Structure 1
Amino acid sequence: MLVLAVSMTIAGCSSTDKNEDNVTERVVATDFILEVTTPTVLSTGETLKVKGTLKYTGIKPVEVTHGKPIIRFSFSGSNEQRNYADVGYVTEFKLGQVVEVEDEFIVTKKGKQNLIVDMTADISMTMNPIEIVVK
């Protein structure tokens, strides 16, 4: 029984250590909160998985004109390019409404790389690049 308890404790610690390499950055502007979660340490050949969440905290419904997707990512450690629709979408945001966007990049370049987060909306939000170390 003691061996099982020790094994479970060690297994729990190792998964917690891996989660320490993830970061969530947050930007707040007027009635919106933008959060991006990404790993910050990867190796070449791995897949960078990022998630962006835009939450509306205002009380009155508001229409937002945007491209698709509303949250866009680019990663300097990959050669992948994205083709996005720049205009023509309108979303009515209501209190508590959340939009999630996920993306993936194959990591091809070593060293310090940057994840760039961009909003394609008539909402003014700027997030600094997130540094990712590629081993």
Structure 2
Amino acid sequence: MITINKMSNSILMLVSVVFMVLSGCSSTEKLEDTVTKRVVASDFVLEVTTPTVIGTGETMKVKGTLEYTGIKPVEVTHGKPIIRFFFSGSEEERSYADVGYYTEFKTGQVIEVEDEFMVSKKGKKNLYVDMTADIELTMDPIEILVK
């Protein structure tokens, strides 16, 4: 009975190790194709998450978050959406409202903006992130390889 338990434990351990190795490889591979860039200015933090490698004909999904880290509430005038994305690897055009919105930010408040682009041009392209607010935040373009 003792040898059967030892053998069962050994098999179970081997299966667990193989599963962990296979799981680790696939998730690590996926993370290399995605990047999160962060810019901090005054009491705001802007983070953008985007793939860095994508194929022509695929849909590229991007996400931006704007967090207020200040202590006192602050009112911000902006367009809609407050975070805008432009991708040089797509022929899609966007139409936005440039003025007329305001948000009162309180400590820890987060605004999320998601967008997607149909990828149509091969090569090294750029994702540009723009803020339409009276907040001084500038993010360098993010390079994306389109295969």
Quickly name the TM-score band, shorter chain normalised. Answer: over 0.9
- Where 2:39 maps in the other structure, the secondary structure is strand
Report the Cα offset of residue 9 of structure 1: 2.1
Cα distance in 1 for partners of 2:36, 2:84 equals 16
Cα distance in 1 for partners of 2:121, 2:101 equals 34
Cα distance in 1 for partners of 2:16, 2:42 equals 51
Cα distance in 1 for partners of 2:124, 2:63 equals 20
Of the three residues 105, 114, 121, the one matched with 1:109 is 121
Report the Cα offset of residue 8 of structure 1: 4.2
- Where 1:83 maps in the other structure, the secondary structure is coil
* Alignment partner, residue 96 of structure 2: 84
Report the Cα offset of residue 12 of structure 1: 2.9
Aligned residues: 135
Residues 63-115 of structure 1 deviation map (CA, whole Å, 9 limit, x = unaligned): 00000000000000001111101000010000000000000001100000000
Report the Cα offset of residue 4 of structure 1: 5.6
- State the structure with more CA Rg: 2
Task: Tell me the C-alpha RMSD between the 2 structures.
Answer: 1.1
Cα distance in 1 for partners of 2:36, 2:20 equals 27
Whichever residue aligns with residue 101 of structure 1, its letter is V
Structure 1 runs, 4 residues or longer, greater than 6 Å off: none
Report the Cα offset of residue 5 of structure 1: 3.8
In structure 1, the gaps of 5 or more residues are none
Whichever residue aligns with residue 27 of structure 2, its letter is S
Cα distance in 1 for partners of 2:127, 2:76 equals 25
* Alignment partner, residue 34 of structure 1: 46
- Where 1:123 maps in the other structure, the secondary structure is coil
* Alignment partner, residue 74 of structure 1: 86
Of the three residues 60, 73, 76, the one matched with 1:48 is 60
- Where 2:83 maps in the other structure, the secondary structure is strand
Q: 1 or 2, which has the higher helix percentage?
A: 2
* Alignment partner, residue 70 of structure 2: 58
Whichever residue aligns with residue 82 of structure 1, its letter is R
In structure 2, the gaps of 5 or more residues are 1-11
